[in-house]
Structure 1
Amino acid sequence: MEYVLLPNEIEMYVDTMKAQNMECLGSPQWIEWHQRMQKLNQEALVEASALKEERVKETLVCFGKVPILVHEAILISIWKQKILPQLMKLEPQPETTIVAYSIMYHEAVCVSLLELVLFHPNCCEALDDAASDLLEYSCSNVSQLLVVEYKEQELHEKSEKEISRQKNNLVFEIGMKSLTLVRYISENLDSLPVGVKSKIFGDYDVPILFTEILTKAPWIRGDKIYSGGKWRDWDREQLGQQEAQVWLTIRQLILDPECPKYYSFTDRHRAQLMKLTSMMTPTLLDQLSPLIELKHWLCRLSVMENPSSAPKPLLIETVLDIKESILKQTEGRWKKLAKKQLPHVFPTDRETLHELAGKLCEAYNTELLEKLEAKQDAKCASCGKEAIQRCSRCHQVWYCGRQCQVDHWKEHSTDCSTNNSSVNS
């Protein structure tokens, strides 16, 4: 069995996790921290792919470290907005972008790890107050999908253009993963602070935001579909994982029994939501049968003369503690911080560059990732097509749609019962 970290290494890495400061980004100490986070992410991916005990997730919950992942993602997001532009002014054509890219990639590592572990409700609950920060961060990333497009690498790119492309593509990739994060939050609202539910319906209006995302369909590019972090051939019918996440999020929120308490179905809302009906084709409903209930609800909404418009409950305003603490800590010293980080982010010493390249190459372990990519593409247990849903009982078998799950049930039922019993024991 492939593994990246031993159990005692996982515990040591997680136990020593702590929120980083803006000033240390790019330093040798931070590079070591980045290595550890990358290895934890890879180990979590191995565990999820091999359907074995998810030690990384359990250790993060046990040690109360899940909020640190949120902190790290937000920290890098602010660095990209505030400090990176200052660095590019100081050094418009750096000799190498390896450290700058590693800092930006660190955000994607944290988001990937969150995407893996938040599949489990107890991990969502462990977010606690950080859930509000994660929701704001994720919705901001999702909204970027309305304007950003993935860019291919060009020949003989200059450093400035290379960094711009890398930043752009990471925004796209993180936005795609954020679709899943919002879905997990929406499915666990009852175990999160009450302010999160108010924000997901009010401040960020996720039902309308996700409707706009469906209209844009950023995961489609001609005859290609973005799936599993890559652009793949598309038959123009198969439902992609990202689109499935969006549909399931909308369904979860709209059909939530408490939705009317927080959400007013105004004429504007109704007009926007009605766009969904034309997208709910028989092919889509066949692949994602839970949407049938949503379609029936939308049909009823369309004939209502006065949609429900219940007042929102009075709630205490939720403070974004993580984002506010980072901004307070830096106090707007962006130029000063950029000058301090310049030697680390854009090093010129050849020996230093060689040493950094070796450390990062070891951390990224591309050989292992290539092996995982060959294994992790989920296939339907019945027909072999790309799968988008796990069995809701055992979480170990994948299907492309409801009909395949029904057809395969006779064969799967015994194993499903056994696996479900072992999970609950």
Structure 2
Amino acid sequence: MAEAFLFAPEAESYVEGLRCFPLRDIGSSRWIVQHDQLEKLNLQAALSAKRQEDEFIKESLVSHEKMSILIYELICIEVWKSRIFPLLLKSRVEPKQTFPCYIVLYHEATLISLLETVLYHEDVVQACDDVLLDLAEYCSSRIITLASRHNDGECFYDENERASKEPISGIDELKRQYKQIWFQVTVKAVSILRYIISNLSSLPVSIATRLLNTHDIICCLVELVDKPPWTHQTKDGKIVRYTEAKWCPVHERETMAVTKTEAQVWLALHHLLMDPECQRKYNYSDHRKAIVLKLRGKLNEVLLDQIPVLRDLQRYLEHLAVLDIPPPREELILEQVPEIREKLIQDNKGKWKEIATLHGKMILEPDADHVRMMAERFANTFSLDALEELACDVPKCALCGQPATKRCSRCRNEWYCKRECQVKHWSKHKRACNIAAEVK
């Protein structure tokens, strides 16, 4: 069996040492150390879940009451991306290396991947206590933005980027990475929101109220079913689908197969529409009813065979179609509101440009020692054999996407199907290869 990323005592020490970093410390040496430890915790948690072994990462996070720190760090990096990163792009400073900034951008993906793995368990959801409202707010905002951007015509599959052989500037590369990570994170937010929704009956009532009536998450999820942003038809008529954190071509016989993300959306809708307490709280209008009834056209036999529990939802929708909409209920509710994001914004009000200037020097123009330290940690974390076990598919060529059998002998990170593809891809791969080779 492949080796583990972490043994339990080492993981315990990492979890015990987790702390919240101020916004201005993002990208610092101490922050990089914690990011590296979180990445190892994330990889080990995924490996334990895949092997169906003792999930000691989950147990440690709960016993040491560190779930609130993970959620704080997630929202903190989201605030950094929305307030600081645009200022860095506007500075027009051409980064010496995109690697340090990429690590900061990817931090959000690391945190949400770890949360997705551990929040599958009901006891972890309940252990989040008051900060679960902040996580629900984060996930619902991400999903609403995804549905809005997709309805406005934005496509998250970039055919031009895959076809281009020309090198691009560092700033353009960071913009591309930002968009890729944003979509990856938002897809994982769908799973986390489903885990929260499945436990609404044991959670504070304000979470259900905000999801149902403040954000109208039901209509938002229906839009994702009606126009899925994780499925795209290319210019040559082929279907590609986002699954397991990458875009994959879909064979004709698999077009009706339900992906994990699509299943999460359907299960969330099933709970929200079928749970008696959610039905009582949700104020239907003619507009909301019309949107929800769009689901009837999607509930075909192929889908019902894959998710049989949706047959109950099908019967409910038939009943809803002939039901008169009752007048909205007026209830006095003392509603709890999320606090983490608002506090971060208030604490750093008027300091955005100052922090952006500091981070511009630290992230876009780092000194050689800082880059080397980051590269060494990155190389050590991702050099373990256990990574091979986490990979679900055979390696794919970095250029054309075909099954690959050859590996870059210099850095051992990229795969290729033939030498011609390796030569053509060198202009893009050169920078990362040089860093990895220097570390080794």
TM-score class normalised by the smaller sequence: 0.7 to 0.9
Does structure 2 conserve the Cα–Cα contact (< 8 Å) formed by 1:347 and 1:353?
A: no
Distance 2:366 2:212 in 1: 49
Q: Superposed, which structure 2 residues align to 1:213-224 within 5 Å?
A: 213-222=224-233, 223-224=239-240
TM-score (norm 1): 0.84
Q: In the alignment, which residue of structure 1 is the partner of 2:142?
A: 141
Q: In the alignment, which residue of structure 2 is the partner of 1:356?
A: 374
Q: In the alignment, which residue of structure 2 is the partner of 1:384?
A: none
Does structure 1 conserve the Cα–Cα contact (< 8 Å) formed by 2:27 and 2:362?
A: yes
Does structure 2 conserve the Cα–Cα contact (< 8 Å) formed by 1:189 and 1:196?
A: yes
Q: Superposed, which structure 2 residues align to 1:13-412 within 5 Å?
A: 13-146=14-147, 147=149, 148=154, 149-151=156-158, 152=161, 154=164, 155-222=166-233, 223-234=239-250, 235-304=254-323, 306-309=324-327, 311=329, 313-365=331-383, 368-374=386-392
Q: How far 1:309 moved relative to its partner? A: 4.3
- With over 3 angstroms needed to count, the CA separation of the structure-2 counterparts of 1:368 and 1:125, relative to structure 1, is same
Q: How far 1:348 moved relative to its partner? A: 4.5
Q: Out of 263-272 and 310-319, give the one that drifted further.
A: 310-319
Structure 1 spans left out of the alignment, 5+ residues: 377-425
Counterpart of 1:93 in 2: which secondary structure? coil
Distance 2:247 2:278 in 1: 36
Does structure 1 conserve the Cα–Cα contact (< 8 Å) formed by 2:213 and 2:283?
A: no
Q: How far 1:332 moved relative to its partner? A: 3.2
Does structure 1 conserve the Cα–Cα contact (< 8 Å) formed by 2:15 and 2:60?
A: yes
Counterpart of 1:177 in 2: which secondary structure? helix
Aligned residue pair count: 375
Does structure 1 conserve the Cα–Cα contact (< 8 Å) formed by 2:45 and 2:114?
A: yes
Distance 2:50 2:331 in 1: 42
* 1:148-181 alpha-carbon deviations (Å, 9 max, x no partner): 5133454302111111111111111111101111
TM-score (norm 2): 0.82
| Alignment root-mean-square deviation, CA | 1.8
Distance 2:45 2:177 in 1: 25
Structure with greater contact order relative to length (CA < 8 Å, sep ≥ 6) = 2
Counterpart of 1:232 in 2: which secondary structure? strand
Counterpart of 2:229 in 1: which secondary structure? coil
Q: How far 1:311 moved relative to its partner? A: 1.4
Q: Out of 200-209 and 340-349, give the one that drifted further.
A: 340-349
Q: In the alignment, which residue of structure 2 is the partner of 1:387?
A: none
- With over 3 angstroms needed to count, the CA separation of the structure-2 counterparts of 1:368 and 1:294, relative to structure 1, is same
Q: How far 1:355 moved relative to its partner? A: 3.0
Does structure 2 conserve the Cα–Cα contact (< 8 Å) formed by 1:47 and 1:54?
A: yes
Q: How far 1:310 moved relative to its partner? A: 5.1
Does structure 2 conserve the Cα–Cα contact (< 8 Å) formed by 1:144 and 1:172?
A: no
Structure 2 spans left out of the alignment, 5+ residues: 234-238, 395-440
- With over 3 angstroms needed to count, the CA separation of the structure-2 counterparts of 1:119 and 1:140, relative to structure 1, is same
Distance 2:157 2:330 in 1: 38
Distance 2:383 2:330 in 1: 50
Poorly superposed stretches of 4+, deviation over 6 Å: none
